[in-house]
A and B are shown apart, each in its own frame.
Chain A
Amino acid sequence: NAGVTQTPKFRVLKTGQSMTLLCAQDMNHEYMYWYRQDPGMGLRLIHYSVGEGTTAKGEVPDGYNVSRLKKQNFLLGLESAAPSQTSVYFCASEAGVGGLNNEQFFGPGTRLTVL
């Protein structure tokens, strides 16, 4: 039981390049999330999904796209990377079904640098 995994762990991009971050979970969770973490700003929600085939915007969605074609996977895409997207990206999942006390389980993070 691997929990939540993210690939890659590190990546360096040049401005304008594109890339996809992959998140996978093996807990059969309904909800999945992508956050970015920047110094002094905590975790900010980029996009999230409440089920296979659904996605929704979070707090900071601009410059990112997501897809949830399979329940266990949640992909985060950067079409044209910018230095402002240099950050640590975390994926998380939770069981869902609207529970207030649902814990989110986090992946190990991806450190992305855009030059």
Chain B
Amino acid sequence: AQKITQTQPGMFVQEKEAVTLDCTYDTSDQSYGLFWYKQPSSGEMIFLIYQGSYDEQNATEGRYSLNFQKARKSANLVISASQLGDSAMYFCAMRELYNTDKLIFGTGTRLQVFP
């Protein structure tokens, strides 16, 4: 079964608007970590934000925040005030406590920001 599901292959957002990229996950572990990475057209993978399963607050990093709903097993990335430079692929990933050696990635969402 797929562990990380990103159901939006592509998203469009206008500059300065907020956008939410969806991520749901499947695990039987109580302890796990969730990551978001950005991949611009240049190809490199850039770490954006991390959320631990026991973190009480939703993670925030500048314009990025994570809408973590544990009961729903969702970890959606919210980008506020979108910029043209936010156009990229975005990947959600998970690490489980019983398998901390590995990150499991979703298939990604391509975000395009238009003026």
Chain A interface residues (CB < 8 Å from chain B): 31, 33, 35, 40-45, 48, 50, 56, 58, 88, 90, 92, 98-106, 108-109
Contact = CB atoms under 8 A, between A and B. Distances in A.
A71 to B, nearest CB: 16
Contacts of B84: none
B107 A42 contact: yes
Given A42-B106, A100-B32, 13 more contacts: A40-B107, A43-B45, A43-B105, A44-B105, A100-B31, A100-B97, A100-B100, A102-B95, A102-B100, A103-B47, A104-B45, A104-B47, A109-B44
11 contacts: A42-B105, A45-B103, A50-B101, A58-B102, A90-B45, A92-B45, A100-B31, A100-B52, A101-B52, A103-B35, A104-B47
B50 to A, nearest CB: 5
Interface centre among B32, B106, B107 (most CB of A within 10 A): B107
A35 B37 CA distance: 14
Nearest to B108: A42
Contacts of A101: 33, 50, 52
B100 A98 contact: yes
B91 A88 contact: no
Interface of B: 4, 9, 31-33, 35, 37, 43-45, 47, 50, 52, 91, 95, 97, 100-103, 105-108
A100 B33 CA distance: 6
Contacts of A45: 102-103
A40 B95 CA distance: 21
Nearest to B44: A108
Contacts of B32: 100
Interface centre among A48, A98, A100, A109 (most CB of B within 10 A): A100
